[in-house]
Amino acid sequence: MHLLKRYKLIASLFLLSFIGGIFRFYNLNWGAPFYFHPDERNITFSIAQLNLFVHQMNPHFFAYGSFPIYLAYFTGLIVDLFFKPQDLFVQAVIISRFYSAILSLLLIPSVYFIGKKIANERAGFLAAILSVFSVGFVQFAHFGTVEMLLTFFGIWFFYFSLKLIKEFNLRNIIFVGVIFGILMATKVSSLPLLLLPLTTIFFNSWPKIRKRKLSSELSKILFKTLIFIFVSILIFAAFSPYVFLDFKSFFSSMQYESSVALGTLPVFYTGEFFNSVPVIFQFIKIYPFLVNPLLTIFFIPSFFYLCFKGIKTKNLKYLLLDLSYLILFIPQAFMFAKWTRYMVPTLPFIYLIISIALVDLLGRRLLKIRFFALSAIIAVSIIFTTAYFITAFIKTDTLIEASIWAKEHIDNVDTVSEVYDLGLIAFNPFFSRITLFNFYDLDNAGAAKIEEVNYLISKSEYIILPSDRIFKTRLSNPKQFPIGNSFYSSLFNGKLGFTKIYETPCDIFCKITYFNDPTFSFEYTASVFDRPTVYIFKKI
């Protein structure tokens, strides 16, 4: 009977992984041949300019670590042995997306295993189901960026750090050091995670501290801690050598990225974060998209329940699970820039916290109540993830769809559009008379620039907005952008002399995914890369 139960469990996990694989691997080539994601393109350009054979391995890109860049590059060298690529850029995009998809898939059995170790099999299985039907995991499985690397290694870093409490041996120390080195080589903002193994080392030492026997063990603890630091630095240096060899470029990049994140350097792509309230913003504008609104609501009491239960029963596993979430959440939540991608590494912790709390609470309730509650949670997760999957990856890319519509319905005449938006490259094959204007700088522009935009508007027959990334921030923040707000308000209400002739249609799946409003419901990067809303206006 026990063996039969084990076979059923394995079969169930295999089925879940198969379903998760469909959601993650289908249409990995989305956006072809343009590939609109800017972070993805930055990483890919860095990969494409590497050349081991002429000793050019400087990534010349330090916004992220070198590990994902080298991983994709050396994978490409292996692929080249069997298939000669026609385009190195496209190859790098697909390889990067493949790694994101496979790591997103591996998160399913990972959260099951870790949930089982922390609590029990039912909690682990529920966490696995929630991971299968996770909008965040499905979305970032299709992006050739670093988020899935950070998420996958982040949850295993937690697990091996947790093992240090009872098994403070050299093997686990090395595992933790290797994973931390990879995390740092993927993104240096992983540094706060250092608090986790330090905390578990403290808990391992606490009984000896209470018995005043720490002095006899101090040398062992110090030695193993130094081994952890040494291994971490070694792995980090191996995967990010040019942090040291080209430190000037690395340091300059870190200064720029930190200034953008903290809001001390105003840039065009952070305009939406004015007046955003930390924590509240994440729970209103990010998590309802990444994990769905019902799980967002369930997570808050689940988090505090595990805190209470952990303190009451002295269960360090529960307390460290909550602590790990906070280590990942708090530094990102209180930055000026609050992009959706910052919250992705917290998702497996959210699923584990919710699953452990629900299984513990509902395990004491009537079978019918438990069945209804879990069915509702799983059903909502399936509905939101399926709706997003259809909207973003089954339907035609909205930019390509809009460009085809434009080719068939408008003339190749003077047209004005926005700068810094990769979406416009879908229109370039059909329209040669598009003038780009920096509408981001309207509020900082002098009289000459205002005259220039007025002239462009007067001579243009069409205005194309390839996405909602500019007008959303201008319409949402009239105090910060009074001129931009006035311009876009006049454009949409017709006072500028143009009428809307095209808007990306939003069907029932789109309405479910974005709460009936793909522009204003969530933080704009939730949709601007894989499902932007395109507008075309014609002069009246």
The pLDDT, as a whole number, for residue 334 is 96
- Does the pLDDT of residue 8 top 90, yes or no? no
Burial string for 161-184 (b: 16+ CB within 10 Å, else e) reads: bbbbbeebeeebbbbbbbbbbbbb
3-state helix, strand, coil in the chain (%, to 5): 70, 5, 25
- Report DSSP state, residue 56: B
Locate the DSSP E strands across 273-424. Answer: 415-418
* DSSP per position, 161-194: HHHTTT---HHHHHHHHHHHHHHHHH-GGGGGGG
Using one digit for the tens of pLDDT, what is the confidence trace for 21-72? 999 999 999 999 999 999 999 999 999 999 999 999 999 999 999 999 999 9
* Mean pLDDT value of segment 485-504: 96
Of 155-169, 193-207, 254-268, least confident by mean pLDDT is 193-207
Q: Using CA atoms, how far apart are residues 356 and 362, in angstroms rounded to an integer?
A: 10
Q: Using CA atoms, how far apart are residues 480 and 482, in angstroms rounded to an integer?
A: 6
Using one digit for the tens of pLDDT, what is the confidence trace for 86-145? 788 999 999 999 999 999 999 999 999 999 999 999 999 999 999 999 999 999 999 999
- Edge-first strand order for the sheet with 535-539 is 434-437, 415-418, 462-465, 535-539, 498-503
How far the first Cα of the chain sits from its last, in Å, is 75
CB-based contact 416:458 (threshold 8 Å): no
Confidence at 336, pLDDT banded by 50, 70, 90: very high
CB-based contact 495:293 (threshold 8 Å): no
CB-based contact 44:96 (threshold 8 Å): yes
- State the pairing for strand pair 462-465/415-418: parallel
CB-based contact 393:28 (threshold 8 Å): no
Q: How far is CA 292 from the centre of its chain?
A: 15
Backbone angles phi, psi at 463, to 5 degrees: -125, 125
**If residue 22 lies in a helix (H) or strand (E), which one and from where to where?**
helix 2-25
CA 532, 538, 539, 540 torsion: positive or negative?
Answer: negative
Using one digit for the tens of pLDDT, what is the confidence trace for 438-447? 999 898 877 8
**If residue 124 lies in a helix (H) or strand (E), which one and from where to where?**
helix 121-132
Residue showing tokens 């130094």: 226
Using one digit for the tens of pLDDT, what is the confidence trace for 338-366? 999 999 999 999 999 999 999 998 876 55
Confidence at 1, pLDDT banded by 50, 70, 90: very low
- Does the pLDDT of residue 209 top 70, yes or no? no
Using one digit for the tens of pLDDT, what is the confidence trace for 218-274? 777 888 889 999 999 999 999 999 999 999 999 999 999 999 999 999 888 999 999
The Cβ of residue 27 has, within 10 Å, a number of other Cβ atoms equal to 15
CB-based contact 205:221 (threshold 8 Å): yes
CB-based contact 63:40 (threshold 8 Å): no
Using one digit for the tens of pLDDT, what is the confidence trace for 365-388? 556 677 888 899 999 999 999 999
* Mean pLDDT value of segment 415-428: 94
Q: At what angle do helices 316-333 and 293-313 cross, to 10 degrees?
A: 130
